[in-house]
């Protein structure tokens, strides 16, 4: 990334550098609702803005990433990959990275090329980018085609293996998608199977670094990251969402519509449901590697109305006057 390409993630979200995590989350949700593609169909500007906001939130909402971003600016990601400052205690001081077109040029000047590989494979797929590294942590390039790959659990990686990060939207990861990469003079189409999750690693056999001594190649691993979604989140194999309900719905029970990847479904709320309680929609969650679907968890949040009509206020006051239930009665027995 050139120095002139630096993105101020705090400015993008409209928050200060000292903003709390709650303030960052509130700012993101507000912007995500405003620019989400579902709200702005066929609006390229809104789509680009949504992706920019998602990218900013992904970094500053993560404590470790935010710390690196605050310290290293546009080079925060490379700084955390083991070289030159990741884990070896090297103080970069006031080093001027701007003299290099990108971080790869800086590394290449220090280390030279590995086996003639050209580390300038910038992806041409719309709104997509990737970073890559060898198993030793030093960024490097890779070449060759993408084929013969499947899901791979994290395991031992040989010294000639390479890793690239691929960022997908929730829709792309859920349905599967084909992405186009440009590596040097070669254009490659990669099919990402459905059900990819954060941390999923796709193994491409024999497409890693070339050992300059033996001329043998290691493997290439594609590590999946997901852009934040304005409604859905991932917790393990489960898809999670939060839905607001009114106090009367919580007290009396109700039927509400809840979005799922397959469209809205009607969910029955039991009478007396508590805020924070989760309802499980079996088989409505994320595709599983072994087949089938995981569950979708619907977290309930009771949202009292802020603006009441005169009649509503009168009825709430009547309920308060005749109410017999006291949820804090047990607190009378609390002592130090």
Q: Is 274 contained in some domain?
A: yes
Shared-domain flag, residues 122 and 224: yes
Q: Is 332 contained in some domain?
A: no
Q: Is 336 contained in some domain?
A: no
pLDDT the model gives residue 79: 60
Shared-domain flag, residues 104 and 135: no
Mean pLDDT of the chain: 76
The answer for 82, left when phi > 0, alpha when psi is -120 to 50, beta otherwise, is left
Q: Which of 180, 200, 228 is the last residue of a domain?
A: 228
Q: Is 214 contained in some domain?
A: yes
Q: Residue 249 belongs to what domain range?
A: 233-327
The structure tokens 């349905």 sit at 175
Q: Which of 52, 83, 111 is the last residue of a domain?
A: 111
For residue 23, is pLDDT > 80?
A: yes
pLDDT the model gives residue 33: 85
Q: Is 137 contained in some domain?
A: yes
* Average pLDDT of span 167-188: 80
* Average pLDDT of span 94-117: 47
Peptide bond into 84 cis (omega under 30): yes
Residue 291 — pLDDT band, cuts 50, 70, 90?
confident
Residue 311 phi, psi dihedral angles, 5° rounding: -70, -40
Shared-domain flag, residues 55 and 148: no
pLDDT the model gives residue 109: 52
Shared-domain flag, residues 138 and 222: yes
Report yes or no: 262 and 206 within 8 Å, Cβ to Cβ.
no
pLDDT the model gives residue 298: 96
Q: Which of 60, 93, 111 is the last residue of a domain?
A: 111
Indicate which CATH number applies to the domain containing 69: 1.10.287.110
Shared-domain flag, residues 85 and 172: no
Go through 220-257 and write b for each residue having 16 or more CB atoms within 10 A of its CB, e for each that does not: bbbbbbbbbbbbbebeeebbbbebebeeebbeeebebe
* Average pLDDT of span 51-57: 89
Shared-domain flag, residues 198 and 245: no
Q: Are strands 220-226 and 201-204 parallel, antiparallel or unpaired?
A: antiparallel
Q: For residues 32 and 17, give the distance between their C-alpha atoms in angstroms, rounded to a whole number.
A: 20
Report yes or no: 9 and 54 within 8 Å, Cβ to Cβ.
no
Give me the long-range contacts of 72-77 (CB less than 8 A, separation at least 24): 73/6, 74/1, 74/3, 74/5, 74/6, 74/7, 75/1, 75/103, 77/131
Q: Are strands 296-302 and 238-245 parallel, antiparallel or unpaired?
A: parallel
Q: For residues 240 and 157, give the distance between their C-alpha atoms in angstroms, rounded to a whole number.
A: 32
pLDDT the model gives residue 302: 95
- Residues of the chain with pLDDT > 90, as a percent, come to 34
Give me the long-range contacts of 110-119 (CB less than 8 A, separation at least 24): 110/84, 111/138, 111/140, 113/141, 114/140, 114/141, 114/209, 114/210, 114/212, 115/209, 115/210, 115/211, 115/212, 115/215, 116/210, 116/212, 117/141, 117/142, 117/143, 117/209, 117/210, 118/143, 118/184
Q: Whole-model pTM?
A: 0.52
Q: Is 333 contained in some domain?
A: no
Q: For residues 141 and 132, give the distance between their C-alpha atoms in angstroms, rounded to a whole number.
A: 7
Report yes or no: 32 and 228 within 8 Å, Cβ to Cβ.
yes
Q: For residues 334 and 328, give the distance between their C-alpha atoms in angstroms, rounded to a whole number.
A: 11
Residue 137 — pLDDT band, cuts 50, 70, 90?
very low
Pick the range with the lowest mean pLDDT from 80-94, 192-206, 240-254: 80-94
Indicate which CATH number applies to the domain containing 140: 2.60.260.20
Give the chain's domain count: 3
Residue 184 — pLDDT band, cuts 50, 70, 90?
low
Shared-domain flag, residues 63 and 123: no
* Average pLDDT of span 235-259: 94
Shared-domain flag, residues 67 and 151: no
Q: Is 10 contained in some domain?
A: yes
Q: For residues 168 and 129, give the distance between their C-alpha atoms in angstroms, rounded to a whole number.
A: 10
For residue 35, is pLDDT > 50?
A: yes
Residue 171's SS3 state is: helix
pLDDT the model gives residue 78: 64
- Of 111, 16, 24, 115, the closest CA to residue 62 belongs to 24
For residue 182, with 0-12 CB atoms within 10 Å meaning exposed, 13-18 middle and 19 or more buried, which class applies? Answer: middle
- Which tops the pLDDT comparison, 67 or 173? 173
- Residues of the chain with pLDDT > 70, as a percent, come to 68
Q: Is 183 contained in some domain?
A: yes
Residue 279's SS3 state is: strand
Shared-domain flag, residues 161 and 83: no
Enter the tokens of residue 62: 């993560």
Shared-domain flag, residues 4 and 84: yes
pLDDT the model gives residue 324: 93
* Average pLDDT of span 58-72: 85
Shared-domain flag, residues 13 and 43: yes
For residue 114, is pLDDT > 60?
A: no
pLDDT the model gives residue 182: 62
Angle of helix 21-35 versus helix 44-60 axis, rounded to 10: 160
Shared-domain flag, residues 63 and 128: no
pLDDT the model gives residue 161: 78
pLDDT the model gives residue 186: 59
């Amino acid at each position: 990334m050139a120095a002139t390409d630096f993105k101020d993630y705090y400015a993008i979200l409209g928050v200060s550098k000292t903003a709390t995590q709650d303030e960052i989350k509130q700012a993101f949700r507000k912007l995500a609702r405003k620019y989400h593609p579902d709200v702005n169909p066929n609006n390229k500007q809104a789509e680009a803005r949504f992706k920019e906001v998602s990218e900013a939130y992904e970094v500053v909402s993560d404590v470790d990433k935010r710390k690196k971003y605050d310290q290293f600016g546009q080079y925060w990601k490379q700084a955390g990959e083991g070289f030159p400052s990741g884990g070896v205690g090297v103080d970069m001081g006031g080093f001027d990275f701007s003299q290099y077109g990108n971080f790869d040029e800086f590394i290449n000047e220090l280390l030279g090329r590995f086996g003639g590989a050209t580390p300038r494979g910038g992806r041409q797929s719309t709104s997509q980018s990737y970073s890559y590294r060898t198993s030793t942590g030093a960024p490097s390039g890779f070449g060759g085609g993408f084929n013969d790959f499947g899901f791979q659990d994290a395991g031992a990686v040989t010294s000639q293996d390479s890793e690239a990060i691929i960022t997908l939207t929730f829709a792309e990861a859920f349905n599967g998608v084909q992405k186009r990469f440009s590596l040097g003079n070669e254009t490659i189409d990669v099919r990402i199977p459905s059900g990819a999750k954060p941390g999923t690693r796709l193994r491409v056999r024999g497409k890693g670094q070339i050992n300059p001594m033996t001329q043998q190649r290691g493997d290439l691993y594609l590590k999946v990251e997901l852009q934040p979604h304005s409604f859905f989140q991932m917790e393990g194999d489960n898809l999670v969402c939060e839905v607001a309900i009114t106090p009367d719905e919580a007290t009396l029970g109700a039927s509400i519509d809840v979005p799922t990847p397959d469209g809205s479904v009607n969910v029955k709320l039991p009478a007396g449901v508590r805020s924070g309680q989760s309802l499980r929609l079996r088989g409505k969650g994320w595709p599983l590697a072994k087949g089938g679907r995981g569950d979708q968890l619907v977290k309930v949040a009771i949202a009292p109305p802020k603006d009441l009509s005169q009649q509503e206020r009168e009825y709430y006051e009547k309920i308060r006057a005749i109410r017999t239930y006291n949820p804090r009665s047990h607190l009378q027995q609390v002592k130090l």
